[in-house]
């Protein structure tokens, strides 16, 4: 294979994986704090349409990114108020948030259907982008790709190398104990939930600003649910999550190429392959049952009330 | 999904109020209901059906009153929505997706006085008509443009699901392509979805990376057109004019045009001449059209495409007239013969020039 073709395929894989990584890394933090927010898809959609609206309105995709972060955060705040303050069921509220996000984004996006936009351009880094092959392979992406990678590293560092990260994990493991020691369970969870909303917003922004720079209703097409699954199969570890998101992206793109080459494998099977491969690989690398139990936040999805 | 539910609920409330108010009105307008599978803002399939609904309103004014329910899931939910529309006084109901076939027939049995129009289905009843368009005729014209404009002789084709409708389109396109350019081949990638902009875009990228310089699509989002524009190759739009997404890339687009048929059927109900029938109209009936050709296409190629379009309308050219060879090179339709409609409706094999196998 020519190196230019290889670079092009690799670049496609990176763009397919980035929205999943954004959405999943935020949800990982949310779940580590003991909250299960199934509204990722809805938050992504609202983030996507906000980014598109602001970017086409102001001409600045960067303002679009900021808008998406804000919109995702507000959606998550709504979820927080319902589940953390009003103690609603997290699963039901999360599902409702997705339904709400689908409708709200369609409403906001009404005037933007059929409007093309110029996407985020790749950034050329002096020296690095000029390196033959490697420059094309690693240093030609838009800014959000690097953001997603930096964010993953930062989350990993925060959760496992800092004291606030330790507290957040403690809240997710045993909110009663954390509360007894004097940590504010509810404020900490609020922060985690809003962070998750912001990254979901970023995931949506990546779709409308870089992946396919256009707005159509329901354009996330289930990516929020894939992100949720990736968090579980990565056993709540950022490194594995990164691996899982890229594996999913690679198999998704790989199966399209296999079809294009005319290999006689049923396309329905190939379409299933990304899910299958990702689940199998992640289950294999984390097949130690004890470790999964150690990694899964013990209070995931449980309602907390200080008086209980 | 959520919005559809809300609308149905609201529809119920409105219907209940309407029934109370009904006796007060003297001459009621004909109420016409539409059931859509996607959002009206999909810029493709459902959008074009909604244009047809608007055409009825425009043509018949206050003699009619239309309502629609969008994003209705195929299956049990559809039956509930259709029954709701029938119960709330709609006398003509269009159900615009293949999967609405059985729900439509079920409801039609319970409401013998309501007329139903089901798109792309094959089951009819006394009060259920079916209609579809011969989109393959448009794809034949697109095949001529692709065959003349390709330099790599590789065409990328993005398919939704391997059903006869899509396979017929691939074959019709390929027959025209190979007629003008025997060296050209078609690579097909199935995305197993009617609408997933990300996946459709990825499929376009994969095909371009494999050498395709013209992209055909039988999926509904403008993402492949956008990728074609970005990568500097050509593409053919689907359902609606997508030139905004690919001003340099769009060779033409195959447009769904339901306006004429919808107005005609609504009029038939008003006149009392409506009959259950099966309509499969093509370019001649105006049920599909082609978007303006790309300016970069040389005049002689435009003339060639136009000649084919006019010949199809005149009935002197049929896309599926022999000789036609299958993938193994065997002649399956001899010269002078044409594949009959019955076989076209169930088409499940590729013609020569298409690479790969049909997924079973």
CB of B187 within 8 Å of any CB in chain A? yes
Angle, CA of B328, B329 and B332, to the nearest 5°: 100
Please, which residues have CB within 8 angstroms of residue A14's CB and are 6 or more apart in sequence? A141, A145, A246, A249
Angle, CA of A119, A124 and A130, to the nearest 5°: 140
Reported as a single tens digit per residue, the pLDDT across B271-283 is 999 999 999 999 9
Segment B149-162 shows an average pLDDT of 95
Angle, CA of B197, B202 and B207, to the nearest 5°: 125
Q: Is residue A302 part of a domain?
A: no
CA distance, residue B328 to nearest chain A CA (Å): 15
Q: Indicate whether A193 pLDDT > 80.
A: yes
Q: How confident is the model at residue A260 (pLDDT cuts 50, 70, 90)?
A: confident
Residue among B196, B210, B227 minimizing CB distance to A257? B210
Contact B205 A211 (CB under 8 A): no
Q: Which residues pair with B278 in a beta bridge?
A: B130
CB of B250 within 8 Å of any CB in chain A? no
Chain B residues touching A253 at Cβ < 8 A: 202, 205-206
Segment B172-180 shows an average pLDDT of 97
User: Choosing among A225, A255, A259, which should be mutated to test the B contact, i.e. which has the most B CBs within 10 A?
Assistant: A259
Distance from C-alpha of A189 to C-alpha of A37, rounded to nearest angstrom: 11
Q: Indicate whether B221 pLDDT > 90.
A: no
User: Choosing among A53, A97, A260, A263, which should be mutated to test the B contact, i.e. which has the most B CBs within 10 A?
Assistant: A260
Q: Is residue A101 part of a domain?
A: yes
Phi, psi (5° rounding) for residue A152?
A: -60, -45
Nearest to A218 by CA among A204, A228, A229: A204
Distance from C-alpha of A42 to C-alpha of A101, rounded to nearest angstrom: 4
CB pairs under 8 A between A and B: 127
Q: A271: domain CATH number?
A: 1.10.3470
Q: Is residue A243 part of a domain?
A: yes
Per-domain residue ranges of chain B: 2-133, 135-255+289-345
Q: Is residue A301 part of a domain?
A: no
Contact A212 B190 (CB under 8 A): no
| B227: closest chain A residue by CA | A212
Contact B197 A99 (CB under 8 A): no
pLDDT more than 90, % of chain A: 61
User: Secondary structure of B120-135 in the HEC alphabet?
Assistant: CCCCCECCEEEEEECH
Q: Which domain holds residue A270?
A: 3-295
CA distance, residue B121 to nearest chain A CA (Å): 24
Reported as a single tens digit per residue, the pLDDT across A237-253 is 999 999 999 999 999 99
Q: Please give the residue that has the higher pLDDT: either B10 or A181.
A: A181
Chain A residues touching B355 at Cβ < 8 A: 262
Q: Indicate whether A11 pLDDT > 80.
A: yes
Q: Indicate whether B6 pLDDT > 60.
A: no
Contact A262 B187 (CB under 8 A): yes
Chain B residues touching A211 at Cβ < 8 A: 198, 201
Contact B199 A257 (CB under 8 A): no
Reported as a single tens digit per residue, the pLDDT across A155-166 is 999 999 999 999
Domain count, chain A: 1
CA A303 to chain centre: 24
CB of A136 within 8 Å of any CB in chain B? no
How close are the terminal C-alpha atoms of chain A, in Å?
A: 63
Segment A10-34 shows an average pLDDT of 95
Reported as a single tens digit per residue, the pLDDT across A26-44 is 999 999 999 999 999 999 9
Residue among A99, A212, A266 minimizing CB distance to B1? A99
pLDDT more than 70, % of chain B: 92
Contact A259 B190 (CB under 8 A): yes
CA distance, residue A250 to nearest chain B CA (Å): 11
Q: How confident is the model at residue A126 (pLDDT cuts 50, 70, 90)?
A: confident
User: Choosing among B198, B231, B242, which should be mutated to test the A contact, i.e. which has the most A CBs within 10 A?
Assistant: B198
Q: How many CB atoms lie within 10 A of CB B183?
A: 10
Distance from C-alpha of A202 to C-alpha of A67, rounded to nearest angstrom: 9
Phi, psi (5° rounding) for residue B114?
A: -100, 135
User: Choosing among A217, A251, A261, which should be mutated to test the B contact, i.e. which has the most B CBs within 10 A?
Assistant: A217
Residue among B191, B197, B207 minimizing CB distance to A212? B197
Helix residue ranges per DSSP H, chain A: 3-32, 40-58, 61-80, 90-109, 134-138, 143-161, 163-173, 175-181, 185-206, 223-233, 238-260, 267-285, 289-295
Q: How confident is the model at residue A295 (pLDDT cuts 50, 70, 90)?
A: confident
Distance from C-alpha of B103 to C-alpha of B263, rounded to nearest angstrom: 24
Reported as a single tens digit per residue, the pLDDT across B93-139 is 999 998 899 999 999 999 999 999 999 888 999 999 999 999 999 99
Q: How confident is the model at residue B194 (pLDDT cuts 50, 70, 90)?
A: confident
CATH class of B135-255+289-345: alpha beta
Segment B27-52 shows an average pLDDT of 88
CB of B245 within 8 Å of any CB in chain A? yes
Q: Indicate whether A308 pLDDT > 60.
A: no
DSSP string, B162-224: -SHHHHHHHHHHHHHHHHH-TT-EEEEEE-S-S--HHHHHHHHHHHHHTT-SEEEE-SS-SHH
Site of tokens 């014209």: B141
Q: Is residue A54 part of a domain?
A: yes
Reported as a single tens digit per residue, the pLDDT across B72-85 is 888 788 999 999 99
Nearest to A189 by CA among A39, A302, A107, A275: A302
Residue among A19, A113, A221 minimizing CB distance to B199? A221
| B2: closest chain A residue by CA | A99
Predicted local confidence at residue B195, as pLDDT = 81
CB of B296 within 8 Å of any CB in chain A? no
Q: Is residue A32 part of a domain?
A: yes
CB of B198 within 8 Å of any CB in chain A? yes
Superfamily holding B2-133: Response regulator (3.40.50.2300)
CB of A223 within 8 Å of any CB in chain B? yes
């Amino acid at each position: 294979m020519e190196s230019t073709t290889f670079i092009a395929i690799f670049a496609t894989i990176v763009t397919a994986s980035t929205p999943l990584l954004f959405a999943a890394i935020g949800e990982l933090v949310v779940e580590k704090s003991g909250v299960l927010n199934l509204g990722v898809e809805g938050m992504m959609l609202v983030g996507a349409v906000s980014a598109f609206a602001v970017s086409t309105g102001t001409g600045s995709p960067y303002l679009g990114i900021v808008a998406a972060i804000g919109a995702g955060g507000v959606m998550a705040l709504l979820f927080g108020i319902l589940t953390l303050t009003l103690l609603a069921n997290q699963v039901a509220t999360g599902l409702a948030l997705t339904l709400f996000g689908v409708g709200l984004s369609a409403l906001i996006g009404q005037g933007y259907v059929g409007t093309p936009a110029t996407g985020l351009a790749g950034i050329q880094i002096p020296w690095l982008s000029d390196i033959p092959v490697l420059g094309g392979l690693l240093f030609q992406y838009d800014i959000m790709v690097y953001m997603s990678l930096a964010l993953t590293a930062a989350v990993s560092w925060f959760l496992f190398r800092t004291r606030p990260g330790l507290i957040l994990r403690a809240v997710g493991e045993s909110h009663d104990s954390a509360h007894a020691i004097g940590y504010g369970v509810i404020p900490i969870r609020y922060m985690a939930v809003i962070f998750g909303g912001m990254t979901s917003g970023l995931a949506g922004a990546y779709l409308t600003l870089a992946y396919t720079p256009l707005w159509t209703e329901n354009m996330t097409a289930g990516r929020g649910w894939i992100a949720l699954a990736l968090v579980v199969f990565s056993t709540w570890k950022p490194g594995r999550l990164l691996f899982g998101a890229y594996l999913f992206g690679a198999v998704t793109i790989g199966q399209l190429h296999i079809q294009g080459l005319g290999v006689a494998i049923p396309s329905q099977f190939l379409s299933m392959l990304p899910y299958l491969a990702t689940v199998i690989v992640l289950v294999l690398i984390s097949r130690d049952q004890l470790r999964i139990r150690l990694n899964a936040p013990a209070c995931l999805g449980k309602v907390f009330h200080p008086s209980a | 999904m959520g919005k559809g539910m809300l609308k149905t609920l609201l529809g119920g409330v409105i219907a209940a109020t309407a029934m109370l108010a009904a006796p007060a009105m003297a001459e009621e307008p004909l109420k016409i209901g539409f059931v859509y599978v996607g959002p009206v803002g999909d810029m493709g399939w459902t959008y074009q059906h909604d244009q047809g609904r608007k055409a009825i309103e425009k043509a018949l004014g206050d003699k009619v009153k239309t309502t629609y329910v969008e994003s209705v899931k195929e299956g049990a939910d559809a039956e509930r929505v259709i029954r709701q529309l029938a119960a709330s006084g709609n006398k003509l109901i269009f159900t615009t997706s293949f999967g609405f076939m059985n729900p439509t027939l079920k409801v039609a049995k319970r409401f013998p006085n309501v007329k139903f129009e089901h798109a792309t289905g094959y089951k009819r009843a006394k009060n259920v008509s079916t209609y579809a368009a011969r989109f393959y005729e448009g794809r034949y014209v697109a095949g001529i443009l692709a065959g003349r404009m390709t330099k790599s002789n590789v065409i990328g084709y993005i398919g939704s699901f391997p059903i006869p409708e899509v396979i017929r389109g691939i074959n019709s396109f390929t027959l025209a392509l190979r007629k003008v350019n025997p060296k050209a081949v078609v690579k097909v990638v199935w995305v197993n979805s009617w609408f997933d902009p990300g996946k459709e875009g990825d499929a376009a990228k994969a095909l371009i990376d494999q050498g395709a310089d013209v992209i055909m699509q039988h999926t509904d989002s403008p993402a492949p057109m956008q990728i074609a524009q970005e990568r500097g190759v050509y593409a053919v739009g689907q359902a609606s004019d997508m030139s905004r997404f690919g001003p340099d890339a769009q060779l033409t687009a195959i447009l769904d045009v339901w306006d004429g048929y919808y107005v005609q059927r609504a009029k038939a109900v008003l006149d009392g001449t409506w009959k259950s029938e099966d309509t499969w109209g093509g370019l001649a009936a105006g049920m599909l059209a082609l978007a303006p050709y790309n300016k970069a296409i040389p005049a002689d190629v435009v003339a060639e495409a136009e000649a084919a379009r006019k010949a199809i309308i005149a009935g002197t050219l049929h896309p599926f007239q022999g000789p036609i060879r299958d993938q193994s090179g065997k002649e399956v339709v001899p010269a002078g013969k044409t594949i009959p409609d019955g076989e076209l409706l169930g088409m499940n094999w590729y013609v020569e020039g298409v690479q790969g196998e049909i997924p079973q």
